[in-house]
Structure 1
Amino acid sequence: MTELTDPAVRVTAAEEIAPDLLVIPNRRVDLVPNIGVVGGTEAVLVVDTGIGTANASEVLAFAAEVAKGRRLYLTTTHFHPEHAFGAQVFAGEATYLVNRAQATDLATKGPGYLEMFRGLGEVIVRRLEGVRIPEPDVVYDGAYDLDLGGRTVRLRPTGRGHTRGDQVIEVPDAGVLFTGDLAETGQFAIFPWFPPHDTDVSGTGWLAVLDGLAAAQPRTVVPGHGEIGGVRVLTDVRDYLRELRDETWRRRDSAMARDEIVAEVRAVLLERHPEWPGQEWIEPAVGCLCAEHG
C-alpha cells in the first residue's frame, strides 16, 4: 500500500471568503477537510476539526485567536475521522453541537472507523494516537439555528446521503454553504460502502439531497474536500452521481454479474473523467447502487 501524505491541517493557509468567515483549505491533501471558522459579534463557530488531536489543537488555537474572547462553538459535518476525530481537544473550550443521527454514528460506528483508519498506514496511526470518540455537548433534532451575535448560522441535517448523519452548515447572510463530503470537487465521490459493517451511504438519497441544496442557489459552496466554488460544486457532483446511477442500473437491470457491472462502469467513468483521483471509490459506489432500487 502506498503511504499516505501526512494529513496535516495548515492554519496559515486560511483565507477569508466573506466578512468574519474563514476557510482553512485542504490543499488537495488526502484526509484533510476544508475547515470553517465563522464569526459573529458574540461567538465563533468552527466547522470540522481535522484528523487527530494535533491538528485539532492547531485549529482550536487559530479559532481562539480569531475569536479574541468571543465564545467558541464546534460542529462537524459528519462522523468520519478527518472531520470529527479531534473534537475531544475542544472539550471545555467550546460547545460541541451535532444532529442526533450524527451523534448516533459517532457512538455506534466511531470505534470501528478508528480501527479501520489505523490500518491506513503509520502516518495515520501517529495522527490518531490518543484519540477518543468525541461526545457532543448538545444533540439536536431537526434544524438548529445558532445565534453568533448579528449572524445566525443554520445547522441542518440532510438525511441519508454520504452518511446517515450528514449535516450542512448554512451562513445565510453570506450566502455560504458548508457541505461536508456531500460534495468534493474534481474527484470520484467517496462512497463508504463497507458491507456488512456500514451500508448507510445512499446514492439515491445523496442525489435527492444535492437536488435540494442546488435549488437554494448558494453563492459560495465549501465542499468537504477540494476547491471552493459556486452552485456548480453541487451540480457537478449531482451530475456525476446521476451518471453513476444510470450506468450501473442499466447493467444491473440487464442481469449482468456484479463483477462485470463494476468492470464496465469503471471503464466508462475512467474514460469520461481520466484526470479525477479517487478511482478506488468507483467499485463501492457501484455496489451501493446495485443494492438500491429506483
Structure 2
Amino acid sequence: MADRVSHDPVVHITEVRELDRDLVVVPDGRVQLVPNIGVIGGRDAVLVVETGLGPRNAEKVLEFATEYARGRRLYLTTTHFHPEHAFGAQVFAGEATFLVNRAQAEDLKVKGAGYLDMFRGLGEPVARQLEGVVLPEPDLVYDEAYDLELGGRTVQLRATGRAHSRGDQVVRVPDAGVLFTGDLVEAEQFAIFPWFPPYDTDVSGTRWLAVMERLAGEGARVVVPGHGAVGGPELLADVRDYLRLLRDETWVRRDSAMSAETIVEEVRALMIERHPEWAERDWIEKGVGCLCAEHPA
C-alpha cells in the first residue's frame, strides 16, 4: 500500500450477482481499495458483509441493503478492520446491528486511527472518500464464534485468529455452501501482507498458512474473496499453495545466510514465474519480510 492511488475507490451497485437464494454479492469491479460486498438474507433479517471505503460508499451500500431487505432487520459485519472493509460502519449506526469478533474490535480501537492517517496519505481520491470518518464501536462483540439467525438461515461468523490481521473473520452460509473470506483470499493477485515494521507487524505468514490449510479442508462450494472474482474452492487452494511455497522458498534462502536483498530478488522472481498473471506483485516483498522474521532461528 506504499504507492499513491490516483483513481476513485468507489463502490458501484452494478452487476450484482446472485449466488444463491436471497444471497447476493456486489462485485469490486477489480478496482483497488473496493471490496466485494455481500448481502445475505433470511426470513426475518439481512446481514451485510463489508461497508466500502468511507461514509459515502457506505451510504450506497446501506441504501441498497435497505431496499433489498424490504423491512427486514439489518445486521452488519466486516471481515477485518482495514479501511475499505470497515471504515463506513458509522453510516449503519441506528439502522443495523454491527457485530465483529473481539480481536477485530480491539484492532479498530487501537489501530484504526493510525490506518486512517496512513490511507489518507495514499492520495487525494482516497482522502476524499475518508472525509468525515468516525471509527465505529461495534454493538455486539463475540470471542471466537457466533451463529447469527436470520430466520430459516443461520450464518456462521468465525474468528480465524491472527493471519492477515489479528482480527480476521470468515463468514459462512452453510445452506448455500458460500464462504466470505475477506483478505485472507484474493483472486488472481498476490496475498496482501500489511508488514510495516516497526509500525504494524501483526500479519503472520505461518499462522495465515495454517488458517488456509484448515479452510481448504473444510469445503466450500462458492468462495467470495476480499478482492477479485468470486470462485470456487480452488481459490482457497491457490492461496494455501502460494503461502506454503513463499514460506519454503524464503526459509531455505534464510537458512543459507543470503542477504535480505538477495532473498527478496530470488523469491520474487520465482513467484512471478509461477503466477505471471497475478496482480499486486509488490506484496511479494512484504511477504518475504514477514516470513524472514518468522523464520525459526
Shorter-chain TM-score tier: over 0.9
* Runs of 4+ residues deviating >4 angstroms: none
Corresponding residue number in structure 2 for 1:47: 49
Distance across 2 between alignment mates of 1:219 and 1:3: 34
Give the deviation of 1:130 after TM superposition. Answer: 0.3
1:172-193 Cα offsets, whole Å, 9 max, x none, are 0101000000000101110000
Distance across 2 between alignment mates of 1:32 and 1:142: 27
Match of 1:75 among 62, 67, 77: 77
Give the deviation of 1:141 after TM superposition. Answer: 1.1
Corresponding residue number in structure 2 for 1:107: 109
Distance across 1 between alignment mates of 2:6 and 2:179: 29
Q: Which runs of 5+ in 2 are unaligned?
A: none
Letter paired with 1:291: A
Match of 1:14 among 2, 13, 16: 16
Letter paired with 1:197: Y
Distance across 2 between alignment mates of 1:229 and 1:270: 22
Quick check: 1:33–1:48 contact (8 Å CA) kept in 2?
Answer: yes
The TM-score normalised by the length of structure 1 is: 0.98
Match of 1:168 among 144, 167, 170: 170
Quick check: 2:160–2:169 contact (8 Å CA) kept in 1?
Answer: yes
Provide the alpha-carbon RMSD of the alignment.
1.0
Give the deviation of 1:3 after TM superposition. Answer: 3.8
Q: Does 1:180 align with 2:148?
A: no
Letter paired with 1:262: V
Corresponding residue number in structure 2 for 1:206: 208
Match of 1:137 among 136, 139, 150: 139
Distance across 1 between alignment mates of 2:12 and 2:61: 9
Give the deviation of 1:152 after TM superposition. Answer: 0.5
Q: Which runs of 5+ in 1 are unaligned?
A: none
Letter paired with 2:293: A
SS at match of 2:282: helix
SS at match of 1:279: coil
Q: Does 1:265 align with 2:267?
A: yes
Distance across 2 between alignment mates of 1:18 and 1:48: 19
Distance across 1 between alignment mates of 2:250 and 2:34: 30
SS at match of 2:119: helix
Corresponding residue number in structure 2 for 1:224: 226
Quick check: 1:181–1:224 contact (8 Å CA) kept in 2?
Answer: yes
Matches within 5 A, 1:29-68: 29-68=31-70
SS at match of 1:4: coil
Distance across 1 between alignment mates of 2:264 and 2:294: 15
Q: Does 1:278 align with 2:280?
A: yes
The structure-2 alpha-carbon separation of the partners of 1:96 and 1:111, relative to structure 1 and needing over 3 Å to count, comes to same
Letter paired with 2:211: V
Distance across 1 between alignment mates of 2:116 and 2:232: 33
Quick check: 2:164–2:208 contact (8 Å CA) kept in 1?
Answer: yes
1:254-281 Cα offsets, whole Å, 9 max, x none, are 0111111111111221222222211111
Quick check: 2:254–2:295 contact (8 Å CA) kept in 1?
Answer: no
Of stretches 134-143 and 82-91 in structure 1, the one that deviates more from structure 2 is: 134-143
Quick check: 1:4–1:30 contact (8 Å CA) kept in 2?
Answer: no
Count of residues paired in the alignment: 294
The TM-score normalised by the length of structure 2 is: 0.97
Q: Does 1:249 align with 2:251?
A: yes
SS at match of 2:94: coil
Quick check: 1:40–1:149 contact (8 Å CA) kept in 2?
Answer: yes
Letter paired with 1:225: H
Give the fraction of aligned pairs with identical amino acids, expressed as a percent: 70
Letter paired with 1:173: D
Give the deviation of 1:2 after TM superposition. Answer: 5.5
Distance across 2 between alignment mates of 1:266 and 1:233: 21
Matches within 5 A, 1:77-96: 77-96=79-98
Distance across 1 between alignment mates of 2:216 and 2:284: 24
